[in-house]
């Protein structure tokens, strides 16, 4: 279909493979992209893939997708083999923020990064956060996912030292304004240096984490990360497990 | 001036005297109101009284005003004699929030209530708040004043048990949206039961505290509060000092 | 399910038990929370529980829920035994505001507080309000629920002396802006000391009332309120019925 | 100046003479319009005429202007001779709303209509309004001027039977949103049939009243209103004084 | 049902009977109101009555309703007998604005007023408007209904002399912002004296027209309008047919 | 100054020379740009050049600027020699829109295009527009400049056949929302094919006209337009005067 | 149906035939318009025609419609015979923007213009755009269709010389704000002379292109374009194929 | 002054020293903070320090401040000794964005980081960016500063592999909406993984870069960065100069 020009070069260019954002695309368009991926022997990540759309895909495409209903993500082809653990923590304020947090987790996993996952630690019960603070601080990169007032982001911003990527969610109603309040609160945080993503954009937060991992490798001489491959997922024999400190 | 109908009955009706909101009023209008107050032997509180407007008032009026430049409030006539201590704490997130917090403090003082004042305890340095938490929790009413992300309100909301009155401030820029973000974050807080006032409305927060004090007296049999009187400010011989617990 | 960290300590900490806000949570998540509550022998309040979600819950959970379709609230386990009457009035401007008002009523009842309920007294027919004004003024705490122009809040604000908690509703269309106009009108009210909650947040208004009741007890020496218990609802033999004055 | 095409035919066409909205016009442009008016022997109303702009006008123009500093309006040439009394009441909620209310009053007076003026009757002290309600109800047309929550408009809307023209003002701060909240509250009023004008648009409200007076004359056979004339203002010998009923 | 206090006195007080705004009310609430109306032998107008809600009403109620699917209005009981013709024109810019325009027409008819109806005369084809301009100008009251840019309102405002009531509609997309742009354009119109109603509020526009008719009667001695009666609709033997001029 | 990289190639690339938008630039930055222009023997157009900034420029720069105070534009160096007449009309709704309209006129003149200028033809007096309609229709490109309701744009959109470039202005107050209403009304116009520019962007409208002229030349074989030159402005011996038809 | 006044004269007046915007119109209204078109022997373009509405039309109407499901457009009657190629390019940033782009393409085709179509060249992979830049630059008119950040428009604005018509789309979520961000970015573009249309308004963009083609013909002597005719679509024997340069 | 609780522990806790945001603070408050810093022998960074405020500070404080008028920043005490070069590039789209970009540069310099600075490379002249692309790509961290459409951020996002921190600026007018459009465009970018800061927040962008540098050191074993010291700025003998690759 001439309407599609997949950016297969993106992985080499910026270290992040193009993903397929399925919302707003027709089933025919998604199928055409998957045909293209198969022809090029590429694995692709699908985001915002509704169950109904998954069901409407051609059977062979559908069968080739490892689907997660919570995050509405699919792996078409094998994700990258596991490459590291302990580098990125995903911290979600409430139970309702979990789908967005899982989207970030799955995006990282597709790229070979296994992240820590800590949920329901919103500041209305501060002990829930403080009881796990040392665990969170052990990660050099933290993704904070929160809706409503997003106070979790500011509290974390004053307590953790490394990269803090913030994802506002559309959780809440009325004055939460579909996530706009959480977004603005993160942007206007009293804590310095927060990196903010779009509302509900777990995928983008994971990509920002990948960029930071890429920066770290470039700054300190680690060889560049391997790319996801369609032909092989695989064992985690060679992953770099970062000791917490 | 026939354009003015001062609501002197308000104190008796709802327990809060009408104050003069000076912003947007001409000097002539303010002077006419003060004439009226003098004629009726009433003390009045003036809010949002800019120094330039104060200077433009007739000399005898100006001299009769106890002015506070930080909060831009004036007492015209003697405030109510001191009636209680230790019932209301005012907690300000940052140094820039102090003018609004002081407006609340002065409004309460005019009504005979001496409040506690705790400033610069924003959550970017959480230790600043936790180190004073027991002190704050000792007050049955807390007024939280915060701009930008207003995360202080949510954190307090999860930690204090009594009435929590929240005042967003217009401190901040960009995504702070002139206080709208702080306002929305307080309204959409993950902590339950926050009572929210208008942006920069320290006066309104104090009035909400006065309403709660009135409720408490009605619920538990204390005789109703005396009114501010123009003829006498006075000693604090008979104030009820609430022991912290 | 590791995604859930229920804040059972909240009742002891701030006097308000954590409730389950069901909107945006999956059936599986809600069921897991109820399992946790049962294991801990706790009663919990469920809000924004749609009938379809109720039906989708496991049968034993569903049967244990006392459901109110108007307010979309459920009591899982027995609510607190009745503790007081006559302390809180809920005043709704129009018929369409009733669901939000009932959410407040049910939240208070779950905590052992029986409130007065007065509906359809909007200011378009002022006689409806004035004919019941004495009744409303007898309550030391008033929750005003109104959409559209929310003029009821300002009129009450000039007439009642105690705590006035205002809940804007999303009733109306066009310039009502989904409740934003009612919210702003309450915040910018010409009457002083209104305490405002989020749009449609009947639950939050009830919590604000609980905080004020807690403040009143602390200020005047009443022992602290007992907690809701799963094992026993019960008679109202010992409630404190406040005489109207 | 070829940039100006004054619509002198407007009075004949729609019964309202074109006025000069001075904000945003240069002194040179205003002077050119006044030259044109003089040449055509027309009186014109100037609105939003700041004192500094008045001072910058050529002396003969300045001297020909009857200026009102409160409403920032000027009559260039004689206004229409007095034509009626008792047909239009202007009701302002607060002292700060007076400038807008006076703009309406002056616009009506320029067109020969003397209006009643009732100020500072906002609903925070409802007695102020009810004590003058019969007086207000005697007018078949009421212009309500209010900022902040604009609750006055809804209360009046439920109490007066005739045309109710509402002017929101930019009085207030924060959630008052520069008059947007008052505007929306008037538009979304629970009282039916309110006719709403732009924020601070006292001129427009007066014009709406003129349209209604024109409608009344057409419906019931009264000859059409005479036009303002530059050559003669004059006595009020022949005005129709409407008896209150 | 104690949640309902119908304002039957409204007709006598302000000349407009309370109508039932059905959106957001439950079927049970609407049925209870109709019971009340029947008991009091009153006819009532129902607005925003969706077909599905109509079908869900008890059969005897449903059968008593004269329903118009285009405007989603119902007459429960007989409307007022026809009282006048030729006083009010309803002018709709486009075909999509017709439902709102018909709501105004039906509201007027319920009150005994037969209006003229002129549709699809938007300014994109100015000849459509100019070809009917004389007809429109013959009416002393014009209701202009328009969405998108609402330019029709401004053009009419410069051409018709009497009361011009403007109803913005939510027709359009994108920058039309659900009717907000039409609303603002009407409020900020370059033509003077437009009276603006809420978005899609055909009912409110009709009520504003009724207020103007009431004003006209009061100003010029016509006896007050009879009320709608449940027992009798009736012939139009005595209507006042205004000759166009 | 290394902060400046002037895009001198823009004229060759897209047919429009880079202009200097002076608002928000320091005097030092503007002076550095002019130095660069002089060094490269280029004429440049300056927009949003406030008189105070002009005065603060070095004397030789200031003297080299042909300044227009109404439009706040300056020609630094000679504008392009006159190249055509009668191709572009600039139509301004009101007197207050003139500064923006003049910015468009000056931008076109700098590029060698002399435009027609027609002001104060807003639709509140439709005769003003219709009396000049044939004149306007004679131009193949029309730039419509209007604030407030911007109804002029829609009316023109239904009457002229060629390119219609619309510039909303920030003229108006309240619901005019700083030009946002005019902008949205133009975007949501009922007339088809309007090309809309940013608020107050007379410069941009002129550039859009230049693009259309370039398109016309490319489509129909006219050689490309010469560039402005610093060394020569000059006579209009060779301009193409388009006969009106 | 008297609610419809089709503007058949529009083609002659402004060179663009009135199209039927089907969203918000009832099936009965659309059918009545088609009846009218048939009676007048006119072909009409239908936009925003949902498949369900198409199915609900009378069979003979439905059969007469050449429907495109992607763009939701229908040709009722034969489109204009092909008149030119190579004049207009439609460039879409992403796959999700295709429906809007196709609406533009179909609108042009209905008017006899065959456009070039280039999709999925968004700037996240700049090579996709640069690899086709020469092709795009060969067209004297470019329609850029983009959602989210709409960066494609600015990049093209700096690279192409002719008319650049920009259509923001509602593609995206959160901070994309339903297309408002793309719209604003296009309006505030750093590249000069962009002509912007309403969100998702492919039809309007095509009309703007038609206006520019009309301008070009008028400027350079080409006879005016023939009109679409119901009786004949037809061969492309006489089309003007513009050589790319 | 008891209103100030400086968070001196912040550097140790999160690696970023508390800075003094001067906007909205009184001169007395700033002076008190500087007293505190001097007493504690700490250097502090001051941001948003207007020249007038600087002049109003006590002389010894003023003299101790190394002030930059472009960025409105001050170093009170010696900044950290130079620690690295070549790690962070600051890329500004236009000349007007320079003040914000310089704030980022100064913040980094205060912390010992010397950044690259590349200005006026906006996409309206894409060659300006491409001609320096290799230089930019050599930096593992890029801070992109842009206003208006912020298209630079998206273009860079598709071309650079490392951390990309985006700062929207308030440069522009009308639809630029004070930076909100640039902010939203960056958040909704078609390029993945952008980290966005508040409008005009150069300070925050620098802090986000510091967090990423901290992450990189933690991930790859570099010892933690030394802190700024008041007693010594000093030579750059030991800095780590990263070779570009």
Which conformational region is residue H62 in: left (phi greater than 0), alpha (psi within -120 to 50 degrees), or beta?
A: alpha
Please give the pLDDT value at position H24.
93
pLDDT at position F221, please?
63
A10:G171 CB<8 A: no
How many Å apart are CA B17 and CA B25, to the nearest integer?
19
Give the model confidence (pLDDT) of H70-120 as tens digits. Answer: 999 999 999 999 999 999 999 999 999 999 999 999 999 999 999 999 999
Helix (H) or strand (E) holding H233: none
- The closest of G173, H108, H195 to A143, measured between CA atoms, is H195
Q: Which chains form contacts with chain H, at 3 or more CB pairs under 8 Å?
A: A, B, F, G
**Mean pLDDT for chain F overall:** 91
A158's CB contacts (< 8 A; 6+ apart) are A190, A191, B123, B124, B125, B126, H10, H13, H14
Name chain D contacts of F51, Cβ cutoff 8 Å.
Answer: none
pLDDT band at F193 (very low <50, low <70, confident <90, very high): very high
Is C171 close to E33, i.e. CB distance below 8 A?
A: no
What is the predicted pLDDT for the residue at B232? Answer: 39
Beta strands B141-146 and H65-68, pairing class:
unpaired
Q: Tens digit of pLDDT for each residue in C48-60? A: 999 999 999 999 9
Nearest CA distance, E211 vs chain G (angstrom): 27
Mean pLDDT over F114-124 rounds to: 96
- Give the pLDDT mean for F56-61: 97
Is the per-residue pLDDT at D168 higher than 50? Answer: yes
Q: Does D114 touch chain C (CB under 8 A)?
A: no
Cβ E61 vs Cβ E114: under 8 Å: no
User: In this complex, do B95 and H29 lie within 8 Å of one another by their Cβ atoms?
Assistant: yes
CB contact under 8 A, B25 and D96: yes
Given this model, what pLDDT does residue D221 score?
63
Q: Tens digit of pLDDT for each residue in A149-203?
A: 999 999 999 999 999 999 999 999 999 999 999 999 999 999 999 999 999 999 9
Q: Which of C232-236, D4-8, F168-172 is modeled with the greatest confidence?
A: F168-172
What number is the average pLDDT over the span D25-52? 97
- In chain D, which residues have their Cβ closer than 8 Å to the Cβ of B21? 96
For position B3, what pLDDT does the model report? 85
CA closest to G192 among chain H residues: H124
* CB nearest A175 (choices: B172, B184, B191): B184
If DSSP states are collapsed to H, E and C, what string results for G84-125?
Answer: EEEEEEEEECCHHHHHHHHHHHHHHHHCCEEEEEEECCCHHH
Using a CB-CB cut-off of 8 Å, the residues of chain A touching C9 are 125, 127
Asked if B145 and B93 touch (Cβ cutoff 8 Å), the reply is yes
Kindly determine whether residue B5 and residue D120, on different chains, have CB atoms separated by under 8 Å: yes
pLDDT of F232: 39
- How far lies E51's CA from each of C142, E47, E170, H82, in Å? 38, 11, 20, 74
DSSP B148-193: TT-HHHHHHHTT--SEEEEEE---S-GGGGGGHHHHHHHHT-SSTT
- Which 3 state secondary structure label does DSSP give C67? strand
Average pLDDT per block of 10 residues along chain G, 245 residues long: 85 94 96 96 97 97 97 97 96 97 98 97 94 97 98 97 98 98 98 98 98 95 47 48 49
- ipTM, two decimals: 0.92
Write down the pLDDT at residue A236.
43
Q: Is the pLDDT of residue C150 over 60?
A: yes
- Quickly state the pLDDT bin for E233 (edges 50, 70, 90): very low
Under 8 Å between Cβ of D149 and D185: yes
- Interval G192-243: pLDDT, tens: 999 999 999 999 999 999 999 999 999 986 544 444 444 434 444 456 665 4
pLDDT at A3: 85
Rounded to an integer, the average pLDDT of E178-205 is 98
| Mean pLDDT, residues F54-75 taken together | 98
Interhelix angle for B180-187 vs A180-187, to 10°? 120
- List the chains bordering chain D where 3 or more Cβ pairs fall under 8 Å: B, C, E, F
Q: What's the rounded Cα separation, in Å, for the pair C217 and A10? A: 64
Please, are residues F192 and E124 in contact by the beta-carbon 8 Å criterion? Answer: yes
- Looking at residue G229, its pLDDT comes to 43
- For residue C232, the model assigns a pLDDT of 39
pLDDT tens-place values along chain H, 245 residues long: 478 999 999 999 999 999 999 999 999 999 999 999 999 999 999 999 999 999 999 999 999 999 999 999 999 999 999 999 999 999 999 999 999 999 999 999 999 999 999 999 999 999 999 999 999 999 999 999 999 999 999 999 999 999 999 999 999 999 999 999 999 999 999 999 999 999 999 999 999 999 999 999 999 865 444 444 444 344 444 566 554 44
pLDDT attached to residue C2: 72
> Using a CB-CB distance cutoff of 8 angstroms, which residues of chain H are in contact with residue G164?
none
| pLDDT for H178 | 97
C175 touches D: beta carbon within 8 Å: yes
Task: Quickly state the pLDDT bin for C3 (edges 50, 70, 90).
Answer: confident
Q: What are phi and psi of B10, to 5 degrees?
A: -60, -40
F165 within 8 A of F205, measured Cβ to Cβ = yes
The pLDDT assigned to F239 comes to 64
Residue G155 neighbours by CB under 8 Å, 6+ apart: G123, G126, G129, G191, H123, H126, H151, H155
pLDDT (mean) for C161-185: 98
Of C3, C7, C200, the CB nearest to A173: C200
Which pLDDT band holds residue D2 (cuts at 50, 70, 90)? confident
- Smallest CA–CA distance, residue D216 to chain E, in Å, is 4
pLDDT score recorded for residue B238: 57
Average pLDDT of span C21-41: 96
Contact B13, C161 (CB under 8 A): yes
- Three-class DSSP labels, E108-170: HHHCCEEEEEEECCCHHHHHHHHCCHHHHHCCCEEEEEECCCCHHHHHHHCCCCCEEEEEECC
**3-state secondary structure at position A153:** helix
The mean-pLDDT minimum among A74-88, F109-123, F229-243, G109-123 falls in: F229-243
Query: Between H13, H24, H201, which is nearest B171 by CB?
Result: H24
- pLDDT reported for residue E2: 72
Distance (Å, whole) CA A176 – CA A169: 10
Binding-face residues of B in 134-163 toward H, CB within 8 A: none
Q: Report the chain C residue with the minimal C-alpha distance to residue A175.
A: C198
Residue labelled with tokens 């590039």: H89
Interface test with D, best of B1, B5, B8, B200 (most D CBs within 10 A): B5
Q: Which residues of F fall within a CB distance of 8 Å from D9?
A: 125, 127
pLDDT at H235: 43
Q: What is the Cα–Cα distance from H148 to H150, expressed in whole angstroms? A: 6
E208:D220 CB<8 A: no
Distance from chain centroid for Cα E75: 13
CA angle A111, A115, A116 (to 5 degrees): 170
State the pLDDT at residue F233: 41
All residues at 6 or more sequence positions from B223 whose CB lies less than 8 Å from its CB, including other chains: B217
Instruction: Count the helices and strands in chain A (H runs, E runs).
Output: 10, 10
């Amino acid at each position: 279909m001439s309407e599609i020009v997949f950016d297969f070069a993106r992985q080499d260019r910026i270290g992040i493979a193009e993903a397929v954002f399925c919302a707003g695309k027709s089933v025919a368009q998604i199928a055409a992209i998957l045909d293209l991926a198969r022809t090029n022997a590429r694995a692709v990540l699908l985001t915002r893939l509704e169950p109904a759309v998954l069901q409407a895909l051609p059977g062979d495409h559908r069968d080739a997708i490892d689907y997660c209903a919570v995050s509405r993500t699919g792996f078409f082809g094998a994700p990258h083999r596991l490459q590291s653990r302990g580098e990125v923590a995903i911290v979600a304020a409430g139970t309702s923020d979990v789908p967005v947090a899982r989207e970030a987790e799955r995006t990282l996993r597709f790229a070979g990064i296994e992240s820590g996952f800590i949920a329901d630690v919103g500041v209305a019960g501060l002990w829930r956060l403080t009881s796990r603070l040392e665990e969170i601080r052990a990660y050099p990169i933290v993704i904070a996912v929160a809706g409503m007032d997003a106070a979790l982001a500011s509290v974390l911003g004053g307590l953790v030292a490394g990269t803090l990527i913030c994802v506002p969610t559309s959780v809440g109603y009325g004055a939460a304004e579909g996530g706009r309040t959480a977004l603005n609160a993160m942007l206007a945080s009293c804590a310095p240096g927060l990196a903010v993503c779009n509302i509900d954009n777990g995928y983008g937060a994971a990509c920002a984490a990948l960029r930071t991992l890429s920066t770290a490798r470039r700054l300190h001489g680690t060889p560049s990360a391997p790319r996801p491959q369609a032909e092989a997922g695989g064992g985690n024999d060679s992953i770099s497990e970062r000791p917490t400190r």
